[in-house]
Structure 1
Amino acid sequence: MKNLFQPTWTSLALVVGLIATAWTMSSIGYYQLAGLLGKPGGYNEGPRVFALYYGIWCLVVFAIFHPALSAWAKRSSPPEDRIALFVMLTACALFTFAVLPFLPAADIPTEESVNEIIIAEPWYFLPKTIEILFQQILMTALVVALAAQKLRIGQIAFLTAVLFGGFHLTLALDGANPFYVLRYTIAATLFGAVTPYQMLKMRNGFVYSFALHWGWYAFDTMVWRFVFPET
């Protein structure tokens, strides 16, 4: 789909439809797979399985959107410039294997309060990283598709904030803790507002956007462990 991003509303509708379908189907598939395998703990209990699962989804959306995104990718992240990527991957690895294992355990007062990220173990971040990559590909496609419509960057930021934040409200449909839904919806809305500036205005914008997205999960698990340490 090399000519996917055209300055027409029909083209935009197609892109949004593909993104919504991939995102929804991947989420449904995740819960179905977790139930089928008897792994309600998700990433903590089956990191390799879910890493493979989201790896397949990454390949699917990459195959769909890469031909159309290749020109943007060359402008945004020249092949010779890999320092930002190296620094980001190093920082992620250091947090996962050199910091996280030594953080205090979080105090979980009730079963309803438990969310995976609160009790994340190092290998939790393997499937989480691949899931974030999947979402970043979709976010990039959305931003570039909106930019193709000649919208101002402020308009794009507003739309991505509403869409990305709104999608996280669906966490409530799975019976998630309301505070978890609230904080992730707010974070997703802010992230959605910032992403277009990173993607369209910054060199290596994809890397910085990915780092911000990944960093939120690292920050969230640290906050819980330090604010509510196990006694």
Structure 2
Amino acid sequence: MAIEHLRVPLYKTLGKIAALWAAVNIGFYTFLPILGVDLSYNNTPVAITLYYVVWLLISVYVFWDIFSKWLPTENRVWVYGLLCGAYGAFIFFMLFVLSQLPIPQVPRIAQYTDIIFATPWYFLPKALDILIQQVLIAALILALATTFRSVKKTSIVYAVCFGGVHILLFAIGGAPTPYTMVMTLGAVASAFIFPYLILRVPSGFVYNYMIHLTFYVALVMISHTWPPPAIS
């Protein structure tokens, strides 16, 4: 995907991304509890999904000046049809497979064990959560690419930014070390895939979303099949 015509001020974009991500998380951990919403994707999936829908619309609006110039003008109906079909098949798959797997017997630690005890409902808000992340990731990659003009340099800086944010957030939240390591390694590893797909592959955003969602599917399957003996 050509980006030569894009002019994205890096510092402004980074500021917007940081502000949006902070607002989403602050609202999640402060505003939703005030409304009596349980901060569990498994227990209150609909309320959390609606919360994320609002922030998804806000995120797209904030970065629309970038996306409107970057998105392909042609109508790739088959790509979006593939996305809808894959998502529908995914939901059906999760409903069936998760209903067959045993519930792990490990200590519960706030939201950090939500994924271990994931039910099919877990993926309703998670799908929106990931979509918001992908909007911010796309904006970050495009801003970095217009600054460094290199996929390699963009990927390196992206890895530092995305991996660093995960470490910071989990450190502030007191996340268990194994959880922090898995998520941070996943964030850093995405630097080998996400920037290239956004910058070089038509409809790369769609593929990034599918890969990101599949990562969580794999984690849920692994945690249900081989649950950790303890979380510390």
> Which TM class, normalised by the smaller chain length?
0.7 to 0.9
- The answer to whether the 8 Å contact 2:116/2:227 transfers is no
Q: Please tell me the root mean square deviation across aligned C-alpha atoms, in Å.
A: 2.2
Where does residue 111 of structure 1 map in the other structure? Answer: 108
Deviation at 1:67, TM superposition (A): 3.1
Write 1 or 2 for the structure with the bigger share of helix: 1
Q: In the alignment, does 2:86 pair up with 1:81?
A: no
Structure 1 residues 144-171: Cα deviation after superposition (integer angstroms, max 9, x where no partner): 1122225210111111111111111111
Aligned to 1:42, what secondary structure does the other structure show? coil
Q: 1:229 to 1:141 in 2, by over 3 A?
A: closer
TM-score (norm 1): 0.87
Percent identical among aligned pairs is: 32
Task: Report which stretch shifted further, 80-89 or 55-64.
Answer: 80-89
Aligned equivalents of 2:83 and 2:174: distance in 1?
36
CA 1:102–1:34: 2 relative to 1, 3 Å:
farther
Q: Could you say which residue in structure 2 is the equivalent of 1:162?
A: 160
CA distance in 1, matches of 2:49, 2:33: 16
1:15-58 per-residue CA deviation (whole Å, 9 max, x = no partner) reads: 01000110111111111134324555521121111101111110
Cα distance in 1 between the residues matched to 2:132 and 2:153? 24
Report how far residue 73 of structure 1 moved.
Answer: 1.6
Aligned position for 2:56: 58
Q: How does 1:15-164 map to 2 (within 5 A)?
A: 15-74=13-72, 78-82=75-79, 83-108=81-106, 110-112=107-109, 115-164=113-162
- Structure 1 runs of 4+ aligned residues shifted over 4 Å read 37-41
Q: TM-score, structure 2 length as denominator?
A: 0.86
**Structure 2 CA distance for aligned equivalents of residues 43 and 187 of structure 1:** 20
Structure 2: 5+ residue runs without aligned partners? 1-5
> How many residue pairs get matched?
221
Structure 1 partner of 2:178: 179
SS in 2 for 1:74: coil
Structure 2 residue aligned with 1:14: 12
